[in-house]
Structures are given as structure tokens and as C-alpha cells.
Structure 1
């Protein structure tokens, strides 16, 4: 999902955001809205390259589908026979959006295929890499990517990167605006590695240890997905508990991330130093209890993309601004498919001299 070739697109997208902030009359910025726009820009550029405007169109339609899904998350009619026979307005709208998304991606794929063989063609973006793989056998069973596979992969890229990226950044900036000592430590680290003007690059991102700790602690306190739902295929024994086959398992990530027995009596506090010795040493007795992107082979494919986008964004913000909470901010995290700030995240920006 992530490659070093995506860094320039991330940097260019953050630059657009920073330039937009210079033109604002007020120094109060609603960060969640800004980071949603940033995520759309970054994902569209890294997924579709020069066709990123078409990528933005896909992004907006998937965003609308996400809103519909959240609205119907607890609707019991979708679980019964009636929901399969009689379609609601939301069902019909989802079907329409699915068709439009399919058509846009198909059009983009066909346009790209026409230019793939040109000498000046840049196929380093996500779509280009998928198309290069389309005619190659990609596993030991002789499987080859189909056009539908490419469409599905593009959808997954958007969905995996959008919410995780924008929410991670929103909560991280809020926490850094409150805990200014960590904001200053992170800024000092950025200045040491990139200076005050140099754009972030792949080699430098790996050296951002303090920002890495901040990202981990943000994801612990505010994991984008508050739970993981899985279905076990066969009977399994968990300690003294026998779990029959075909049982739906609900893993409460948010509860695990705030458990005093796992993290200690200060589990509710923002303390990035927990991760100074890495994730495996952050907990008292159970390193697998930290799972902001899931765990094991089903780990979220957008995790590296989200964390590297966050590193680039935070580094460039810290080079240009200090930030503090706005008096208009009201803290109200709510679960709407993901853990979102219902009232947004208003932050005061102060340009560095």
C-alpha cells in the first residue's frame, strides 16, 4: 500500500494545505475538515497520479457511501429478509454510487492503459503499479489481476487511507496543541533532521522517533476503529474457553487501549514516552493489546500509508506553525463507523518567525 515514491505527492499535497492557510483571515482552523481535504488530495495523487482529479471524484462518492453506511449501521431492517427485498432510498443511492464509482475507475484505467507504453509515462503511482501487474502471474497458484480486482483495490486504497489518515492527524494535532512540551520536542526533532525549510524525505522520516511515539500514543487514545469484528472458521480454544465455529467475535480495541491492567494507572493520559522502547515494550504484559490497525495477517493495509502521511504532515506543520487549542473547541468524540470528533477540531495557528 505504501512506497517511498509516494513521499513527493504527500509533500506537494501538504504544501497546498499550508499555502491555503496563509490566505485565511483568521488563525483559527478546523483541522478535521482540513485533513479530510488533505487525505483526498494525497490519496488521489498517490493512487491516480496525473488523473488525481478523477480520483477526487471517486473519493467524494466513497465518502457519501460511508455516510450512508454509518447512518444504517444499527438499522435492524438490513439484517432480515425485508431489507434484501425492499430497498430503501439509502439502498438505492448506494447502488447508484457503486455504479458511478465503477464507471469512473474503468474510464481512468482505459485512459491510463493507452499511455502505459509511452517513454515519458510515469507509472509509479498505485494505479500504474496495478496495471503493470495486471498481465503478470502474481502468486504460486497462477493468479492474475482482473479489471474488477483493480477496481476493488482502488476502492480499498481510498477507504483504508481516508479515515485513518485524517482522524490520526486531527487527534494528534489536538493533543500537541494541549501538550505543548511534546509539540516543542517534536519541532526540535524536525529541525534537527530536516532543518526549517527542507522538505521531508523518505530517509529522514524513519529518524522521526519522537513523532513516531506521538503517533503511537495518539492511536492508542483515539484508535480510528474502536473495535475489530471477526468470524472464526472453526472451533478454537482460548484459555479455558471453547469458541464454536462460525461465531462472530467482537474485539473492543478502545477498551483494550485504555485498560489499566495493561497500560498502568495513567492509561487515560497522553504519555508518548510509553513507546520510547517500541510497541512491544509499551505495555505491562501484553504487546498484542495495541491494535489501532488490527492485528496479524488481517492488519489494515493502509496503516503504513496513514502513519507516513501523518509524519510528513506533522513535520511540515511544525516547521511553519505553533498551535494551541481554540476557545471554541468542544471535546466530543463519537463513534460513526470510526471514532470522529463530532464538533470538529478547532485549533489556533501561530506562524513561526
Structure 2
């Protein structure tokens, strides 16, 4: 029997109602995520006197502070009193407008930015369980360094950290010095040959070689000489960063659902990640096979060995931590070393003092020990000051998991707190009126006399999730600097363009050309 028109109309009405409801769900979610929730968080903070730029639907405030960053020249004076405009332009723009704390948005994420050491201590150290890493930052970083100990939380984080801690212990560092020397020697000897061929003075961009050195150090210390695979992994990760920043630069990236689409950048990153994981698994399989065949008595005491030796440490976690150390570990050390060389080239008095100390403490030979490196007080002062002036991690962000009181502020659930590390490192309130100057002597008597609050110095973070590789990074920088200063006077190159910028970490935008002059 044919259905009467009224029945058809009823069915059509139901179908249209369901379709409209289905369409309304993402619309309501979008409005709640990008408008209602940011407005709610802004109102709560505004009532407490914390202001910021106006809410901008979808994209947040990045177009404004991105345009601000573009107003600065591509070549800045090295004595430029604040690198933040080209590294963290939103800090430079909004601190000057709104005071020592402000709110802004990046996409749908509303952030309270502070440069208060006590709040930094509470957020990063004392309020564990109240915060987690920013979902936006995890999304960005996970595409490059995976989801290892950097990203996991709770019991899984505690487990991975416990397994990896012995690799970064003081006892382990003693054995790593030789690997650091081995990782640097070939490139530095190449510089010597090139300088000799050039008549004793060479204008050369060392940035690429510095990354090779850092990559070799990572490979020799953590992965048992697997430099070639490590080099390939790093190069693929660097390529991934290019695609990632290309995606982030598109306004469409911030539109809900866009990140789920099979875009050109997403496909490219997925393909690169497959190649990276395959290389990491080849290292893991080779180590396992060597043990199975009796070619090795154990998995080893390097980082890869520690992960494989624990039956509860699954291969996915091992792969992710390989990705983490190859990129994050390498980039941190390489860029800290690069900025150190730039500074020493332009501060000959400190270069001379460092070289004199190296020769006095370590002698004329090529013997390096952890004890000897730890006695390089001038070197320690220089490296501390470089990490202050050029913070490799210029900010740290955590998102509140619950409502709570933080000092004089009520922090609502969902608000992200961004600790402005670089701005805090250059704040005269904590470092004196000479905060913008490069003055290693401020660290002559330790951190307690360098600034008014020790929590104002956070080059490697703070609290339980402080950077796991901090000691290794500092050891590498000091050993390699000692090796270089034994052989060369470092002079400024006319080709160097000073423009620190942010690409996962703070780094020189236009390479590190230096003039290397052979010591007489």
C-alpha cells in the first residue's frame, strides 16, 4: 500500500531534524571552543585586573604579533637589548601594553603569560597534578619528537623517567666525555685543515658542522655509534619541521576539523614519520639481534640499551624516545653552542679569559675529564650567561586541570599559564639594570648572587619535569668549546646576520658564519 503524503512529510521532517541536529553539534562545539570558553576565561581574568588584546575568532592573536615581528630588520645589532621581538614577539608586544601579566589567545587556547619566578615555581614544581602540557604544544611537538618521556604523563612518565635516569647520572657523564671528544674531533680537525689551506684565517659558516658534532655526540653516547641512522633521522625531522610550520602559517589550520583533513603537509609529515620510525626500529632490531647471536653480552648501558633491557619498556616508547633525543637533544646543544661561539667572537676579552683557564686547568694536551671540565669556572660563567641571554626554550606552558588559587590570582580550569622564560631572564627587576648586557661575571659567585630570585633562571625548566638531558647538554657545550678555543681565535664574520628566531627552539636564523684564525 502506498504511503499517504502526510506520512512522507513526517518522515522528511524527522530526517531534516536529525540532519539539522547533526550539523548543529559541530557548530555548537566550535562556538563553545572558539568563542564561549575564551570569553569565559577572559572575563574571569579581567575581573582580577589582567588584561590583554581583544579576542580574535579562530586564529587568536598570532596575526597581530606575527606582523609585529616582521617590523624588525633581518639583521639586528648583537647588542640589541631584547631578543624577544624576534623569538617571542607576543611577549615584547603585550608586556609593554598590559604590564607584567596579560592574557592572549593562540587558536582556541587562552593563555595567561607571566614573568613571575614564584608563579613559575608553583606551576612547574609545586602544583604537580594541577597542570598538564599544552595540547597545542603537544600536537606540534609530537609530529617531530614523538610521544616519549617529554609527552607522557602519570605512571607512564614516572616509569620512563626511572628507566632513563641512570643514563644521565653523574657516573654515566664521566664515561661520556670521551664520546663527546670523539663526536667533535673530526669536524674541528677539518676546520684546522681548511684554515691552514686558507693561509691561517678562514671565514666559514660553522652551523651545519655544529649540528653534525651534536648529532655524533647523541649517537655515540646514547645509541652506540649509530651516527648515520641518527643523521638521517635528524634530517627527516628537520624536514618535518618545515612542513609543520608551513601548516601552522595557514589560517585554515585553526579552523575546527582542518587538522583531520589529508592535506599536503599532513601527508608529507606522515610519510616522513614512517621513514623515521623505520630507521629507529632498525637500530632497535640490530641491537636485539646482536644480543641474540651472542655478539653482545647485554643491550648496553647507553640510552637505547636501558630501554631494551626492561621488558616493560615497549618498542613504541623506545622509538619515541629515540626521536626525542635525536632532535630535541641535538638542537638544544647545537644552538647553545652556536650562540656561545657568536658571543665569544664578539667578546674577545671573555674568549681570552676562557682560553687561559682551559690551558691552565686542562693543560696543553687533549685530555678531558668530567672533573677537569667541572673546574672551568670562567667557562661555566660564560655558558650560564649565554643560556640566560639566548634562552633555547623561551617559554614553558601548562594548562590548568582544575580551578585553584595561585597567589593573588584565581586560575580557572582550562586556562593555560605561559611562563615567559626569555623575558624573565632579561628582566631588570631580577637581574639589575644591566640585564640586557652580556656579563658572565654576574655568575661569579653562583646563581644566588646573579639574580634576586633563583627561580628567575630557567634555561632547562624547573621541577620534576625539568629537562632530562640538561647535564649532558652543558657537558657537550663546555667540552666542544674547550676543544675549539685550544685551536682558534674566533673573530666576527662580516657575513653574520644576527636574528634569533623560534623554530621549535631559539636558533640563529641565518647561520653562524665566523672567522677562524689559527693560534700561533
By the TM > 0.5 criterion, same fold? Answer: yes
Kindly state the Cα deviation for residue 75 of structure 1 after the two structures are TM-superposed.
Answer: 4.0
Do structure 1's residue 192 and structure 2's residue 369 form an aligned pair? Answer: no
List gaps (5 residues or longer) in structure 1. Answer: 136-143
Deviations 1:148-202 (A, max 9, x none): 1111111121222121111101111111111111111111111122112223222
Kindly state the Cα deviation for residue 145 of structure 1 after the two structures are TM-superposed.
Answer: 0.8
1:45-64 aligned at under 5 Å gives the runs: 45-64=220-239
Partner of 1:342: 509
Do structure 1's residue 145 and structure 2's residue 313 form an aligned pair? Answer: yes
Partner of 1:17: 187
Kindly state the Cα deviation for residue 302 of structure 1 after the two structures are TM-superposed.
Answer: 2.4
Secondary structure of the 2:397 match is strand
1:11–1:199 Cα contact (<8 Å) kept:
no
1:247-286 aligned at under 5 Å gives the runs: 247-284=415-452, 286=453
Kindly state the Cα deviation for residue 92 of structure 1 after the two structures are TM-superposed.
Answer: 0.7
Do structure 1's residue 127 and structure 2's residue 300 form an aligned pair? Answer: no
Measure the CA separation in 1 of the matches of 2:482 and 2:299: 27
2:299–2:308 Cα contact (<8 Å) kept:
no
Deviations 1:178-237 (A, max 9, x none): 111111111111112211222322221211211111111001100112211111222232
Kindly state the Cα deviation for residue 119 of structure 1 after the two structures are TM-superposed.
Answer: 5.3
Kindly state the Cα deviation for residue 121 of structure 1 after the two structures are TM-superposed.
Answer: 6.6
Which moves more between the two structures, 66-75 or 203-212?
A: 66-75
Measure the CA separation in 1 of the matches of 2:228 and 2:207: 21
List gaps (5 residues or longer) in structure 2. Answer: 1-166
Match of 2:491 among 324, 340, 349: 324
1:79-98 aligned at under 5 Å gives the runs: 79-98=254-273
Measure the CA separation in 2 of the matches of 1:13 and 1:78: 40
Partner of 1:161: 329
Assess, with a 3 A threshold, how the Cα gap between structure 1 residues 311 and 224 changes in structure 2: closer, same or farther: same
1:47–1:55 Cα contact (<8 Å) kept:
no
Secondary structure of the 1:23 match is helix
Deviations 1:258-310 (A, max 9, x none): 111111110111101111222233212x2101111222122122222211110
Match of 2:218 among 25, 37, 43: 43
Secondary structure of the 2:335 match is helix
Assess, with a 3 A threshold, how the Cα gap between structure 1 residues 330 and 351 changes in structure 2: closer, same or farther: same
2:234–2:326 Cα contact (<8 Å) kept:
yes
2:246–2:265 Cα contact (<8 Å) kept:
no
Assess, with a 3 A threshold, how the Cα gap between structure 1 residues 71 and 199 changes in structure 2: closer, same or farther: farther
1:231–1:247 Cα contact (<8 Å) kept:
yes
Kindly state the Cα deviation for residue 32 of structure 1 after the two structures are TM-superposed.
Answer: 2.1
Measure the CA separation in 2 of the matches of 1:333 and 1:119: 45
TM-score of the pair, normalised by structure 1: 0.91
Measure the CA separation in 2 of the matches of 1:248 and 1:242: 13
Partner of 1:181: 349
Measure the CA separation in 1 of the matches of 2:179 and 2:385: 26
Kindly state the Cα deviation for residue 126 of structure 1 after the two structures are TM-superposed.
Answer: 2.0
Do structure 1's residue 33 and structure 2's residue 200 form an aligned pair? Answer: no
Measure the CA separation in 1 of the matches of 2:417 and 2:509: 28
Partner of 1:310: 477
Match of 1:297 among 443, 464, 481: 464
1:226–1:339 Cα contact (<8 Å) kept:
yes
2:493–2:514 Cα contact (<8 Å) kept:
yes
Assess, with a 3 A threshold, how the Cα gap between structure 1 residues 69 and 297 changes in structure 2: closer, same or farther: farther
Aligned residues: 343
Partner of 1:230: 398
Kindly state the Cα deviation for residue 118 of structure 1 after the two structures are TM-superposed.
Answer: 3.4
1:9–1:42 Cα contact (<8 Å) kept:
yes
Partner of 2:105: none
Secondary structure of the 2:224 match is helix
Secondary structure of the 1:296 match is coil
Which moves more between the two structures, 105-114 or 60-69?
A: 60-69
Kindly state the Cα deviation for residue 22 of structure 1 after the two structures are TM-superposed.
Answer: 2.2
TM-score of the pair, normalised by structure 2: 0.63
Deviations 1:1-53 (A, max 9, x none): 53322221210111111111123254112132221121122112222213322
Assess, with a 3 A threshold, how the Cα gap between structure 1 residues 82 and 223 changes in structure 2: closer, same or farther: same
Assess, with a 3 A threshold, how the Cα gap between structure 1 residues 69 and 162 changes in structure 2: closer, same or farther: farther
Secondary structure of the 2:225 match is helix
Looking at CA atoms only, which structure, 1 or 2, has the larger radius of gyration? 2
